[in-house]
A and B are shown apart, each in its own frame.
Chain A
Amino acid sequence: MAGVLLDNVAKIYPGGVNAVRGVSFAVPDGGLCVLVGPSGCGKSTLLRMVAGLETVTSGAISIGARVVNDIEPMARDIAMVFQNYALYPHMSVYDNMAYGLRNLKTPEPEISARVRDAARILELSDEMLKRKPRALSGGQRQRVAMGRAIVRKPAVFLFDEPLSNLDAKLRVQMRVEIRRLQRRLKTTALYVTHDQLEAMTLADMLVVMNAGRVEQVGAPLELYERPATTFVAGFLGSPPMNFLNGKIEAQGLARMENGEALAYDAGHFGPPIGADIIAGVRPERTSFAAGEDGLAFKLELVEELGLGRLVHGRVGAAPYAVALPPGAPLPPGETARLAIAAGDVHLFDGKSGVRL
């Protein structure tokens, strides 16, 4: 059992590509930390540095109390689950799981006990243990890959987009299983994904990365409710947050680009009057107003999701989506007014995109 600590970790590839630029955060012992971000943001590189598959250019990575920068992957007390499973194709499922333990010179009865134990937890039958990976379905291979990780009883699990190769339905199912398994084993885990939904549902702690930097760290709901930057606000949530450009007109009132006014909660330190801002509003926190107040909205397209409706349109020139609960009526015509509570408006700096 051990936490993971990253202290100003950076990675510059020999070609000069700066993949990770000074990342610091700490994963508490037993926590599940999800690294999320668009492809190329450095999240996989970071995970591979923790695994010891990439060298660390600068900074320190600690597992438990030990700095592991120069320690071989196998001695780091970690186990990794790869996106394409990386099972040894010529070995049976049993041997796949036992291989790492055999290299550690674990006695054979102990190996057998641990593998069977893992197989039981993952609901892999005895008959399946004898098969080769190619005779298994995608979901089963995924379980075997996880089994290979848990038999080692590592201090830290590393997951590199483990569900990306599964179909949508299985992905939801395996997501729940990974969460359950991690809770049960109470093993610290680092989990990389580009899927914000996976990230939101799995994480104790969410690290949003962009272009090699950490944008924000925190509990998933915290990030969802109070995104630190427009990037985080736009990345978490589906459909993403709507953004409208404008200027502060008075404390608690912003004038949007289309000339209309939008009220915001002026509780804290408000931005100076006249400042350029970006106002962010979640689609599900927007509804249609009955009267003539609110921003003018031009309706373009309606998506029926079953779980509700998604209404796409524009406010001025900016695209804007409204998520309606099931049964909520659509506005009668092509245009409508948006009802937005002042407390649901997020304000970001117009240039840097940082939360105000």
Chain B
Amino acid sequence: MVENRRLGDFFAHLILIAGVAIVAFPVYMAVVASTLDADTIANGQMGLLPGSHGLENYRRLLFEGTSYTTRAPVYGMLVVSLISALGIAIGKIAISLISAYAIVYFRFPLRMIAFWLIFLTLMLPVEVRIYPTYKIVADLHMLDSYAGLTIPLIASATATLLFRQFFMTVPDELAEAAKIDGAGPMQFFRDVLLPLSRTNLAALFVILFIYGWNQYLWPLLITTRDDMQPIVVGIKKIVSTHDALTEWQLAMATAVLAMLPPVLVVVGMQKMFVKGLVETEK
């Protein structure tokens, strides 16, 4: 049996390693490409080892931008992406927390209707309602602004449902004990519910930050100014040049830079993320 299990372990690892290689290799190639000079890539002589132009490529990309297309430095795009991703994640969490709190803990008229209305928006993501949303944002003069980049994406049924499910698992006695202890509704929310939702908050933050960071269609639609473009839109613009050679080393460097923040968020919050998704003890 022991022998068999070793063999099994070996194959399991083999498959996992193959899987990791398949996923990681293109990423590695992007990193390699971002350290080469333009000629090497254009000649098709790209090898497997990093070149020596890395620092120069990244410096130029971050602070000057590409030669032909967007001309905006990627540093600005990173700032735009960061602000809108944070805005979307934090805004979504804040709104869904309080709406879930209202739905679970308060008895008000049309409570179930409110709940189902929120639920219904699950079926209406931005892509579906893109034209009316665009019209509203344009009428409110929010094009090319952070408000326009974030607010339409903030309303979120998913997060509301998640918090609702979580709040419903919190024993009623806890709210009653708080009531007897003299905590008002807001105080109960702040002193008991929020600290208890900490791990859920973290898990949700990771998911929503990545969701916000990866937004492509919406920013593409409502931003026209180069300095209001998130990096995900920027990559596309750097790649598609009409009458000039694509600067692949810079496109790859942009891709690497676009990948980094989500990776950092996931790695940094991994422990809480997992806890938030699996923890059951209340």
Contacts and interface: CB of A to CB of B under 8 A. Distances in A.
Contact of B192 (A51, A73, A88): A88
Nearest to A104: B182
A79 interface: yes
A86 B182 CA distance: 15
B281 A74 contact: no
B183 A103 contact: yes
B174 A86 contact: yes
Contacts of B282: 89
Given A84-B173, A103-B187, A134-B281, A90 B180 contact: no
Contacts of A79: 180
A224 interface: no
A288 interface: no
A147 to B, nearest CB: 13
Given A99-B191, A103-B187, A134-B281, A86 B177 contact: yes
Contacts of B281: 89, 134
A100 B187 CA distance: 12
A73 B176 CA distance: 9
Contacts of A91: 195
Contacts of A88: 174, 177-178, 191-192
Contacts of B19: none
A136 interface: no
Given A84-B171, A86-B171, A90-B196, A74 B179 contact: yes
A345 B27 CA distance: 90
A80 interface: yes
B174 A103 contact: no
B192 to A, nearest CB: 6
A73 B187 contact: no
A143 B135 CA distance: 61
A163 interface: no
Contacts of A104: 182
A86 B191 contact: no
A82 B196 contact: no
B181 A99 contact: yes
Contacts of A78: 180
Nearest to B173: A86
A160 to B, nearest CB: 9
A51 B180 contact: yes
B180 A80 contact: yes
A73 B179 contact: yes
Contacts of A99: 178, 181, 183, 191
Given A86-B171, A86-B173, A74 B196 contact: no
A53 interface: yes
A89 B196 CA distance: 8
Contact of A100 (B174, B180, B192, B198): B180
B176 A53 contact: yes
Contacts of B171: 84, 86
Nearest to B183: A103
Interface string B177-218: 111111100010001100110100000000000000000000
B180 A73 contact: yes
Contacts of A90: 192, 195-196, 198
B179 A53 contact: yes
Contacts of B191: 88, 99
Interface in B206-259: none
Contacts of A84: 171, 173
Interface string A80-114: 10111011111100000001100110000000000
Contacts of B192: 88, 90
Nearest to B282: A89
Contacts of B178: 88, 99
Interface in B107-150: none
A254 to B, nearest CB: 50
A74 B191 CA distance: 17
A96 to B, nearest CB: 9
A74 B179 CA distance: 7
A78 B176 CA distance: 13
Contacts of B196: 89-90
A87 B181 CA distance: 11
B179 A82 contact: no
B195 A100 contact: no
Interface string B146-187: 000000000000000000000000010110111111110001
Interface of A: 51-53, 72-74, 78-80, 82-84, 86-91, 99-100, 103-104, 134, 148
The 3 residue pairs across chains A and B that have the minimum distance between CB atoms:
A74-B182, A86-B173, A100-B181
Given A80-B177, A89-B282, 10 more contacts: A53-B180, A73-B179, A73-B180, A74-B179, A82-B173, A84-B171, A88-B191, A99-B181, A100-B182, A103-B183
26 contacts: A51-B180, A52-B179, A52-B180, A53-B179, A53-B180, A72-B179, A74-B179, A74-B180, A74-B182, A80-B177, A80-B180, A82-B173, A83-B173, A84-B171, A84-B173, A86-B171, A86-B176, A88-B178, A88-B191, A88-B192, A89-B196, A89-B282, A90-B192, A99-B178, A99-B191, A103-B182
